[in-house]
Amino acid sequence: MKLMRPNSKVSLLLSKPLRPITLEEGPSRSKLGSNYDTAWSRRYGVRLLRAMLLDTIVRPGVEVIASPEIKNQDRIDHLSAPVIFAANHSSHLDTPVVLSTLPARFRHRCVVGAGADYFFDKRWKAILWSGVLSAIPIERSKPSRRAGELAVKLVKDGWNLVIFPEGGRSPDGLGQQHKTGVAQLAIRTNAPIVPIYLEGTYEILNKASKRFRPGKVTASYGAPIYASESDDPRELTKTVQAAIDRLADELHSDFLSAARRSAKGETPKLAPTSRGWIEKWNRVSPLSRGEKENRWPTRLFNR
Amino acid sequence: MSPRPGFVLEVDRSTPPTLFWHGEGFRLEKLPVGSRVIYPPEPLAGIKDPRSAIREALDNPTGDSEPLSALLKPNMRVAVCFDDVSLPLPQMQAPDVRQLIIEEVLERLAQAGVEDIRLIAALALHRRMTDSELEHALGKRVYEAAKSAEILTQHDAEDKENLLFIGKTDRGEEVELNKYAATSDLIIYVNINLVSMDGGHKSVATGLASYRSLRHHHNVKTMVHSKSFMDRDNSELHSSNWRMGKLIKDSGIKIYQIETTLNTNTFPSQFAFLQKREWEWGLKDRASFLAVSESLKFTPPWAARKIFQNVKSPYGLTGVHAGEVEAVHRKTLENVYKQQQVDVTGQTDILTIGLPFIGPYNVNSIMNPILVHCLGLGYFFNMYKGAPLVRKGGVVILSHPNRPEFDPTFHPSYIDFFDQVLPESTDPLVIEKKFEERFATDPWYIHLYRHGHAYHGVHPFYMWYWGAHALDHLGGVIILGGDPKTTRRLGYQSASTMADALEIASSIVGRDPSVTHLHSPPLLMANVH
C-alpha cells in the first residue's frame, strides 16, 4: 500500500484543503454568487469614485471603441428615477455602452443586473464588477429570493437598474427569448421599463471574440412601458420584447412604417424561431429582403 | 411655491430701472415716478408627463366628439395638419409639442390601419418651412418617416388644382381650402396656442385657405373692428373665421381639433434675468445681464440675430385638449388667460413697449421695419381685453433699433412694400385700395412663395393692416432708439432717449401724462377695466 505524501509547506500554504468526500455536505455558506453582499459598492465614496471612473475612463473608452450614436432619447426626457432599462444583449460591451449613453441623472445612480454564476463566482470578480459597474447578482438559471428581493429593494429605493432580459449574451448576434424577471420586477416596483435596442456591439466584441474590433454602435431608446400590479408577467415580457423588436425595425425603416407593421403584428423578430442554418440564411439571403432576383448569378453573368 | 400672479407696479423713487427689450438687445429705463409697470404672471408649472396627457386627451375628447381611435377606419383618408414655424416664439426646445402629438396620432392611425394619410403644414400665406424647421417641429422620427413615405406636404395657397371652393358664408365670404384636406374623411389639426388669437376655427379656415378666402377677414375693415383680435368675443377677425368654420362643418368636413397651451417659461437659464422682476435680480442675474448687454453692444446685428435666433425655449405644456373645435378652443382660452391675464384698472396716456428680436414672421430671419410695426401695433397693442391699455388719442412708445434691414429670401415683397408703397402712403385704407391687388397677384412673388421660402406677395399688407386698429386709435407712435429715417418712412416719430420720447409724447397727450409700461418678456394679456 502506497502512502500519500504529506503536502509540502508551500502547497499547504497555497492550496485550499479538500473536503473529505465521505462527509455530507452541509448548508452552503458561500458568500459568492447571489449571496455576495454588494452594499459596500453603493456607499457614497465608492459611488463618487465610480462616477469619476465612468466619466473619465469608461465613456471616453466607449467613444473610441464604439462611437455610440444615441437615438430617440427624447422619449425618456420626462422620466425620473427609478427606471428599469432593458436592452438586448450580445456583448460584454453592452453594459458600458448603455451606461455611457444614459443621461447623467440616471447614469450616476444606477445598478446593473449581472449573472450571479458568471460575474460573482469568484471573489475578485465580485469585487471588481460590483465596484466598477455597480453590478448586483441576478440568478439566471434558478429562482433566487435573495437576488430578487435585492433588486426590488434597490429600485424601490430610487436606484435605476440596467438589465438584459435575454439572460445572457447572444451566441450568434440574433435575439433570444426574454426571461420574465424584468416584468416581475416592474410589476412589484411600478417602475417604468425603458426598452433599449443596441446594434453593433456584437460586431465589436462577441462571445467568440478574443479582442475588440472597433466599430459603430447605435443605442435606440423606446417609450417607457408602465406596469401595474394586475399585469401578467408573461404578457409584459412579450410587450417588452416586442418593443425592442420594434425599435430595431424603426432603426432600419422609419417610425411610421414600424408602427404600421407593429399594428399588424408583422414586426420582424430579433429572436429567431430556431437557431438552425435556415433561419440564419433567410436573414442574410437577398430573396428574404424582397429582392426579385438573387444578386449572385446576375453579377456572374455580367462579367 | 406656486407661481405668483401678474400685477401692476407703481413706480416710486426706489424702483430699479425697468428692462425693455430693444430688438437683439436690452435697455434699462428709469420711468417717471408714478408710472405703472404691468408685470406678467410667473410661468405655471408644466405637465410632468406630456405624452400621457396627450394620450388622455385623445381618449377623452372635449365637446361633441368621439375618441380619436373610434373615428378611424382602415379605408379612410386622413389629413394631419399642423401649425407652422410661426409658433411658438421662440421655437421650443425639443421635443416640440407638435412632435409629441403627431407621434401619438400616427400611432393610432397605424393601429387602425389607415394607409391614406398626409401631413400638411398649415401655412396659409406664410413662407414654406425649411427642412430643418420641419424636422425640429415634427421631430426626427416623424420627419424621416413622413419624408420617406412621401406624405409630408406644405399647404400651397396658389396651387389652383389643389384648392377646393367650399362655398360662401351668410355674409358672402368665400371659403376655399386645401383640396386634400377638404376631401379627407377627417382633418386632425394639431395646434399650439401661444396667444389667445391662435386656434379655434382660425386653424383650418385660415391655415388651409387661399388668398381668395383670406382677403375676407385679413383686411383693414375687419382689423379696425377687432377690438382686440386677441379677444375672440370682440374680434371681427374671429367672427369671420367662425362663420367660415360653420360653413366648413355644414359642408360635411370633419375636424378633430387638438389644441395645446404653453406656459411662459420662455428663456433658458443663461437668460434667467429676463424671467424675473428687476428688484429680484440676484448677483448671477445682474452679472449675466451685464455680460449679455455689454457684449451685445460690440456684436454686429447679424451675429446678435444668430445668437438670439438659436435660443430655444424650455416651454412647459399647460394643457392639451382634443375633440370638437369650439369646445376645445374654449378650454384652450381658459388656459391661456390663466397664464397670461393681468387685471389693470384704467387706461393710460402713454404706453411703452419693448419689442423683442422675434415675432411670428421672422423666425430664423430679420425683424424688418414692417414687422416692427406689426409686432408693436398689431400684437402688443392688442394684448388686451375690455379696452385698449392706452386711451383714444394716446401715444405708444416702441423700443426697437428699427433698422432698414430685410431678408430677401423670406421677405422679398416686404422690400418693395417699403420702397414703393410706404413713401406714397401709410394709411392702411389707401394702401389696401391702391396696391394690394397688384402685390397679391404678382407672378414673381407667387413663384417665390410656391417654390422658394418667401412670404406671399400680399403678406406685408396684412402686416400693415394688423396695426390698423392701433393707428385708428392712437394719437402718435414714437420709436425709441430706432433708425430715424426708417422710422419716418413708417410715419412715426423717432426719439433717442426715453426723456425725449416722453417729451414728444407730451406734446400730443398734454403735460403730466400717465405712463404705463407693458413688461415683456414673458407675454401678458391686460384685462383693462
Q: What is the per-residue pLDDT for B55?
A: 95
Q: What is the per-residue pLDDT for A30?
A: 66
Which residues in chain A touch residue B315, judged by CB atoms under 8 angstroms apart? none
A7 pLDDT exceeds 90? no
User: Mind listing the pLDDT tens digit for each residue in B338-390?
Assistant: 999 999 999 999 999 999 999 999 999 999 999 999 999 999 999 999 999 99
Topology of domain B7-42+271-313+340-528, per CATH? 2-enoyl-CoA Hydratase; Chain A, domain 1 (3.90.226)
* Number of CB pairs, chain A paired with chain B, less than 8 A apart: 44
Q: Do B141 and A262 make contact, defined as CB atoms within 8 angstroms? A: no
Chain A contact for B103 (CB, 8 A cutoff): yes
Which residues in chain A touch residue B51, judged by CB atoms under 8 angstroms apart? 78, 223
A30-39, A291-300, B108-117, B367-376: lowest mean pLDDT where?
A: A291-300
A281 — pLDDT class (breaks 50, 70, 90): low
Whether B378 and B471 have beta carbons less than 8 Å apart is answered as: no
C-alpha cell at B424: 406714397
Characterize the bridge pairing of strands B7-10 and B36-39.
antiparallel
C-alpha cell at A57: 475612463
> In chain B, which among 240-279 make CB contacts under 8 A with chain A?
none
Architecture of domain A33-276: 3-Layer(aba) Sandwich (3.40)
Percent of chain A with pLDDT over 70: 80
The residue ranges of chain B whose pLDDT is under 50 are: none
If one compares A23 and B448, the residue with the highest pLDDT of the two is B448
Long-range contacts of A246-251 (CB under 8 A, 24+ apart): A246/A222, A247/A72, A247/A195, A247/A196, A247/A197, A247/A220, A247/A221, A247/A222, A248/A88, A248/A197, A248/A199, A248/A220, A250/A72, A250/A220, A250/B141, A251/A71, A251/A197, A251/A199, A251/A218, A251/A220
Residues of A with CB under 8 A from a CB of B: 72, 74, 77-78, 223, 250, 254-257, 259-260, 262-264
- How distant is the Cα of A264 from the closest Cα of chain B, in angstroms? 8
Enter the DSSP assignment of B40: P
Q: What is the per-residue pLDDT for A269?
A: 87
How big is chain B, counted in residues? Answer: 529
Q: What is the per-residue pLDDT for A293?
A: 46
A297 pLDDT exceeds 60? no
Characterize the bridge pairing of strands B18-21 and B7-10.
unpaired
Q: What is the per-residue pLDDT for A140?
A: 76
Kind plus residue range of the DSSP H or E element containing B286: helix B283-297
Of the partner residues A223, A255, A263, the one whose CB lies closest to the CB of residue B145: A255
Distance CA A167, CA B270 (A): 45
Residue type at position A212: F
Q: What is the per-residue pLDDT for A1?
A: 53
Q: Do B49 and A72 make contact, defined as CB atoms within 8 angstroms? A: no
Interface residue of B72, B93, B119, B141 to substitute, partner A, most A CBs within 10 Å = B141
- Residue A19 φ/ψ, nearest 5 degrees: -85, 135
Distance CA A217, CA A64 (A): 11
Q: What is the per-residue pLDDT for A35?
A: 76
DSSP letter for each residue of B168-197: E-TT--EEEEEHHHHTSSEEEEEEEESSTT
C-alpha cell at B382: 392688442
CB-side exposure of A228: number of CA atoms within 13 Å? Answer: 1
A82-91, A138-147, A277-286, B304-313: lowest mean pLDDT where?
A: A277-286
The torsion of the CA quartet B370, B376, B381, B383, rounded to 10 degrees, works out to 110
User: Mind listing the pLDDT tens digit for each residue in A209-259?
Assistant: 888 889 999 999 999 999 988 889 999 999 999 999 999 999 999 999 999
Characterize the bridge pairing of strands A84-87 and A193-199.
parallel
DSSP letter for each residue of B200-217: TTHHHHHHTB-HHHHTTT
DSSP letter for each residue of B299-343: S-HHHHHHHHHT--B---EEEEEEESHHHHHHHHHHHHHHHHEEE
Which residues in chain A touch residue B110, judged by CB atoms under 8 angstroms apart? 256, 259-260, 262-263
- How distant is the Cα of A129 from the closest Cα of chain B, in angstroms? 35
Interface residue of B47, B54, B107 to substitute, partner A, most A CBs within 10 Å = B107
Helices A233-252 and A181-189, packing angle to 10 deg: 110
Q: What is the per-residue pLDDT for A26?
A: 59
Average pLDDT over residues A61-75: 93
C-alpha cell at B402: 428699427
Which residue shows C-alpha cell 400621457?
B52
- How distant is the Cα of B146 from the closest Cα of chain A, in angstroms? 7
Q: Do A255 and B141 make contact, defined as CB atoms within 8 angstroms? A: yes
CA quadruple B483, B489, B492, B493: dihedral positive or negative? positive
Instruction: Locate the domains of chain A by residue range.
Output: 33-276
Chain A contact for B93 (CB, 8 A cutoff): no
A298 — pLDDT class (breaks 50, 70, 90): very low
C-alpha cell at B451: 417654390
Q: Do A260 and B110 make contact, defined as CB atoms within 8 angstroms? A: yes
Which residues in chain A touch residue B94, judged by CB atoms under 8 angstroms apart? 74
Count other C-beta atoms under 10 Å from residue A167's C-beta: 19
